[in-house]
Structure 1
Amino acid sequence: MKKAFWQDVTLRQVSQNGRFLALYLLNCPHGNSLGVFQLTEAYALADLQWDGPVLMAALEELKGIGFLDYSTGGLWISLLSYQQFSPAANGKQLEGRIRQLERLPVLDLTIEPIVRLLKLSAHAYFVDDKRHISRIDAVHMRYNRTQQGMTLP
């Protein structure tokens, strides 16, 4: 994780609980290198030693500043800035993130910033190989098409 986390202007505007939750989500044992993962409320509450209202308030605070999106049906987390705070160190790590994106089920979550940052990284690592960009675009199109057909609450 980059040291920029501590100087991030937006994160400095949130409460201590908000920053602590952000730090936890960027490093928790339930996360992955894509920044989109399922986290049960029970695990989060046990790890953080919080109660439900404190967790929900911190999630809402982080959602309000655009740090994350989440769905309550199984508590899926989408860390919208994950790639900025924890960028891929090499092409192999980036390929792993693309594979995770391809396996991601379509959820009622925002993933556009994640897709945008993955594409920027792919352009940098795979200058002459556009297959990676095509894979990211294919998932993004599938995700958007399916998401538009979902009945959302």
Structure 2
Amino acid sequence: MREYAKVYTAFWADPSTRSMSEDARMLALYLLTCPHGNLIGLFRLPDAYAADDLQWASERVSKGFQELFEKGFCARDEGSAWLVILKYLKWNQFENPNVAKNAAKVFDLAPQGIAKSLCAQAILKFGTYLSEAFRKALETVPETVSETLSEPYRKPSLAKPSLAKPEPLGLTPFVEPPSRPDSVGEIFEHWQRVMNHPQAKLDDKRRKCIQAALKLGYTPEQLRTAVDGCSVTPHNMGHNDRGERYDDLT
């Protein structure tokens, strides 16, 4: 979870911003500063997360997103709920090679889809300090487009992306019973994949750790997001005075 985000004062004077409805402007500002975001503007954000943070009804959130999609502020994969702010890097460029290196790690975590494809185009256009390997990886990202897109937008474009109406997921993020037995396995498998521990076992200690978090009220989505955040935290990944990784579920 990031602790701060930058918003330039020019945001309020931008013609695109001024053309938005009041709700769309507030939602755009939220996307730029929300705790789910990151240094490349590509992150998972179902309607329920925004509804809970903004304390809005799900219908209000859905309507706001639709306006932002139509105005080309952002785009989102309907299935995975991964979202990209299309010109985020125009105003938040990488400050040094280390930041660009971390950006490559964040980008690699995102699933293939229209959001990742559009983000790759944005990084190539606005990104700085890109390594040759990262640049080549960006250039080879497939231009995957959801079958639900209307015909004019079959080819991804930074100028005018458009996605199908976002799914209404309800007001509260606590939509899955924490006692669902399959949730434990799903979270463990996500941790295995993200942290690259394919041989790790779901022992009693790890199972109890996940179950305890679910009983506290955290959703499986929030726990997976926590794993993603840990994977891009330098201290946990071994960049500390001991040179040790702290990436176990416990």
* TM-score interval, normalised by the smaller of the two chains: 0.7 to 0.9
Q: Conserved in 1, the CA contact under 8 Å of 2:42 and 2:115? A: no
Higher relative contact order (CA 8 A, sep 6+): 1
Aligned partners of 1:57 and 1:28: how far apart in 2? Answer: 18
- Which runs of 5 or more structure 2 residues have no equivalent in the other structure? 1-5, 149-250
Give the drift of 1:135. 2.0
1:137, distance to aligned residue in structure 2 (A): 3.3
For the pair 1:29 / 2:24, whether they are aligned, the reply is: no
AA matched with 1:52: S
What is the 5 A alignment of 1:1-153?
1=6, 2-109=8-115, 111-112=117-118, 114-122=119-127, 124-125=128-129, 132-144=131-143, 147=144, 152-153=147-148
Structure 1 vs Structure 2 CA RMSD: 2.3
Q: Please, what TM-score do these two structures have when normalized by structure 2?
A: 0.51
Over the matched positions of the two proteins, sequence identity in percent amounts to 28
SS at the partner of 1:136? helix
Mapped to 2, the partners of 1:133 and 1:10 lie a distance apart of: 34
TM-score calculated relative to the size of structure 1: 0.78
Question: Unaligned regions of 5+ residues in structure 1, if any?
Answer: 127-131
Relative distance call for 1:119 and 1:108 in structure 2 (3 A) is: closer
Q: By percentage of residues, which structure has more helix?
A: 1
Q: C-alpha separation between the residues in 2 aligned to 1:88 and 1:3?
A: 19
For 2:184, the equivalent position in structure 1 comes to: none
CA separation in 1, counterparts of 2:121 and 2:141?
15
